[in-house]
Amino acid sequence: MYLYAELWNARPAWLALSQPEREQFFATLGPEVGVQLNAGCELVGLVIADIDTPRRGDYQYMAIWRMDKAQVPSFEEAWERLGWHGYFEQINVRGTVVDFDTLMAHHIQAS
């Protein structure tokens, strides 16, 4: 299993759009989310970040996806093609799910 975490904030370009322009942009995203879901990606959850989180990252939104690693290139290309990153500053973290012992061993062996 492979997890993909997206964290993002609105860019000034997004904030400059009118509400109808924002609605129009999101109307183009709905079908693409459907394409990703039909391709086997699973949207695990969406988050509006709590502001009182200890050691909080400076991101307002988060999405967690589950997918096969082979799906990653088309998933990432879709958001580029739609122009998402022109409106939202985003970081991503992705990787294969490991068990606790594997994660601890990786920490111990880190250099």
Q: Cβ contacts of residue 30 below 8 Å, gap of 6+? A: none
Integer Cα distance of 70 and 4 in angstroms: 12
What confidence tens digit (pLDDT) does each residue in 38-55 have? Answer: 999 999 999 999 999 899
What is the pLDDT, as a whole number, of residue 111?
87
Reported confidence tier of residue 2, pLDDT bands at 50, 70, 90? very high
Q: Which helix (H) or strand (E) holds 66?
A: strand 61-67
pLDDT per residue over 25-36, tens digit each? 999 998 989 999
For 41-99, write each residue's pLDDT tens digit: 999 999 999 999 899 899 999 999 999 999 999 999 999 999 999 999 999 999 999 99
**In contact, 46 and 62? CB cutoff 8 Å:** yes
Q: Which fold has domain 2-109?
A: Alpha-Beta Plaits (3.30.70)
- Residue of 35, 46, 106 lying closest to 75 (CA atoms): 35
Q: Where are the domains of the chain?
A: 2-109
At residue 78, the pLDDT reads 94
